[in-house]
Structures are given as structure tokens and as C-alpha cells.
């Protein structure tokens, strides 16, 4: 993991984030023309290395062909976050950040660290897909292709509610939260555990738990409780509560357009070649909504991926899901 120092970074809110930094990883080599760049932002609570399994020779994200950049985002350590920013901006005093701030920082990284001004493809899922749309709309002159997968330009109403009631409120309602001024993140572990339990209930499709299927067993667990503890608590309990709240609020309030624009008008301004994909059973970003987004982007193509894992398919939990998502990425790169 490397870190790019942004200095005193002016946020879109008007505030300044002092000594801002953006964590990132790279794979492959930048070619002489500097036109083989792929940007692959990550999602809520997941540092860039979580995406490493999608990169490999003879796969679409082939480091022997492309220079692949996996950037972090604000609120997610080791990028600037409440948990690693010194006073007076530590913890609950961390300034308001936006998805636009993330993308501006990522573009600055490419330009200043690598002298890159054109991106062959920006792809990502979930909150990573929100960043993909922001890239296409904010820096359309620099982006040739996009592949938002299991995501949206702004969270649909159900997903905004999910971010607030499943992710944010269990933390802020914890008796040890103290307005974010807790002394030890472990003190708020009860709130994080409730985030894990709510995620287990709402992120997979209902069929994931059906008695005749018990899809959770394919992940090596012998009980639903074991799955909830091993998978979901394992993901959420190590997180810093303030960091999670900042990321959830940032995603929930994201909007890539101008005031007064409709989403159809916003997406109609995208000039990059777009491949939009969705997952069956994904309650966070349902296929019917993603299909509509594709219909509003000039020349976009849409693919629906059939998976018993729903939104969890982006974790690459089955060979079938990995192949299907690889096929979408290959389509996005090669047309």
C-alpha cells in the first residue's frame, strides 16, 4: 500500500482537510503513451487490497497489459479518516467529505504522481460504482469507458434508508458513542455488531437462507449464526465507528449533478462508453433500477448477472460469479 500526500486539500464543502492523504495500490506498468490506465475504486469499509483478487494475468484486469490503480477514499483508513487525522480534525471533528472529493483526489493522484490525463476504464461496484459515475460526469474528457457494477450514480431511496438505518444509526445509537468522542473504538463494538447483524439480514437475497438452498454453507459455515459471526462481524467489528459513519453519510448524500437536474438529465451528459451491470437479488441496487440508468446513458449497454449471492457476488464468492463479472469487465474493456 502506498500513500499520496495531497497537502491541505480544499473540499467541495469549502472546508480544508489539512495534510490530506490518499492510499492506493498499483499493478502493472504504465505504457509510453500512458493510455493503458484502469482505475478501480473500492467500496464502503474495504481498503484497496480487498480488490486484489480481481487482478491477474489472462484475466480482464491483466497487469501485463494494463496499469491498474486501486485508490482508497476519504473516511477509509489508511486514507485520511477520522481515526487517523490529528486534532483539531480528529474523530467527530473530521470535516464533511463527499464522493466528489474522493474522485478529485484520485484524479490529482493520477496527474501529479503519474502524469496521467486519460483513463481507459473506470470500474467499481457498490460505493465504488458511485465513484465511477462521478468520474464520468466530473472528468468526462478524461474517461473513455466506465463499468459501474451493482451500483448507482446516487443511492436509490431504499439504499439511502439502508445506509442510515442499517449502517449509521446502530453506531450513533450505541450508548458508548458519545457523539463520536469515544476513547476506544472497541467501546462501540455493540453498535458495530448490530451493523453486522443488519447487513446479514438485508444484503444477501432472502433465498440465501432458504432451507432447501442454505447458500451460506458454500462459504464454509455450519450454521447461520456462524456465518453472521464469521463473515459479517468479521468484516464490521475491526472498523472504526467514526470512519464508518463518515463513509455512510458520504454515500447517502452523494449527487453527481447540478441543483435542479433530474437523474435522467445528469446521465444523459455521460460521454464515456458505458457498460452497466446488476446482480439478481440485489436489494441495494436492483437490476430494474440499473437497467433504467443504462437506458438514460447514450449508447450504454446493460448486463444482468444471475447470482444466488445478490450484492455479495462482488466479493467473488463463487467461480460462477467471478466468471460472470470478469465477462462484464472484458466487455467493458473490449466492446
Catalytic positions: 126, 282, 311
Residue 179's DSSP bridge partners are none
Pairing of strands 67-71, 16-27: antiparallel
Residue 120 in contact with residue 146, Cβ under 8 Å? Answer: no
**d(C-alpha 98, C-alpha 75), whole Å:** 10
Torsion sign, CA atoms 174, 179, 184, 185: positive
Supply the DSSP string of 13-72, one letter for each residue: TS-EEEEEEEEEEEES---TTS--EEE----TT--GGGGGGG--TTSSS-TTT-EEEEE-
Residue with cell 464522493: 99
Q: Which 8-state DSSP code applies to residue 137?
A: H
Supply the DSSP string of 152-189, one letter for each residue: -SS--HHHHHHIIIIIIHHHHTSTT-GGG--S-GGGGH
Amino acid at each position: 500500500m502506498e500513500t499520496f500526500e495531497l497537502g491541505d486539500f480544499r473540499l467541495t464543502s469549502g472546508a480544508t482537510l489539512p495534510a490530506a492523504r490518499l492510499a492506493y495500490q498499483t499493478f502493472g506498468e504504465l505504457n509510453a503513451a500512458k493510455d493503458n490506465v484502469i482505475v478501480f475504486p473500492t467500496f464502503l469499509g474495504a481498503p484497496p487490497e480487498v480488490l486484489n483478487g480481481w487482478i491477474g494475468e489472462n484475466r480482464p484486469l491483466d497487469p501485463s497489459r494494463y496499469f491498474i490503480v486501486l485508490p482508497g477514499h476519504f473516511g477509509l483508513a489508511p486514507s485520511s479518516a477520522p481515526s487517523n487525522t490529528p486534532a483539531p480534525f480528529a474523530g467527530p471533528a473530521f470535516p464533511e467529505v463527499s464522493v466528489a472529493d474522493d474522485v478529485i483526489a484520485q484524479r490529482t493522484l493520477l496527474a501529479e504522481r503519474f502524469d496521467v490525463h486519460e483513463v481507459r476504464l473506470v470500474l467499481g461496484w457498490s460505493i465504488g460504482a458511485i465513484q465511477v459515475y462521478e468520474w464520468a460526469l466530473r472528468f468526462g474528457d478524461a474517461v473513455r469507458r466506465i463499468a459501474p457494477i451493482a451500483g448507482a450514480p446516487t443511492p436509490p431511496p431504499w439504499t439511502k434508508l439502508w445506509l442510515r438505518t442499517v449502517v449509521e444509526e446502530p453506531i450513533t445509537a450505541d450508548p458508548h458513542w458519545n457523539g463520536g468522542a469515544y476513547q476506544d473504538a472497541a467501546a462501540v463494538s455493540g453498535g458495530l455488531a448490530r451493523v453486522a447483524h443488519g447487513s446479514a439480514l438485508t444484503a444477501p437475497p432472502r433465498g440465501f437462507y432458504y432451507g432447501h438452498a442454505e447458500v451460506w454453507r458454500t462459504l464454509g459455515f455450519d450454521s447461520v449464526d456462524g456465518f453472521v459471526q464469521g463473515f459479517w462481524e468479521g468484516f464490521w467489528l475491526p472498523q472504526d465507528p467514526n470512519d464508518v459513519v463518515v463513509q455512510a453519510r458520504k454515500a447517502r448524500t452523494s449527487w453527481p449533478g447540478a441543483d435542479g437536474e433530474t437523474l435522467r438529465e445528469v446521465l444523459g451528459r455521460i460521454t464515456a462508453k458505458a457498460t452497466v451491470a446488476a446482480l439478481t437479488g440485489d436489494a441495494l441496487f436492483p437490476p430494474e433500477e440499473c437497467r433504467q440508468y443504462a437506458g438514460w446513458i447514450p449508447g450504454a449497454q446493460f448486463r444482468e448477472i444471475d447470482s444466488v449471492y445478490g450484492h455479495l457476488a462482488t466479493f467473488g464468492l463463487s467461480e460462477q460469479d467471478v466468471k460472470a463479472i470478469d465477462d462484464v469487465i472484458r466487455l467493458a474493456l473490449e466492446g
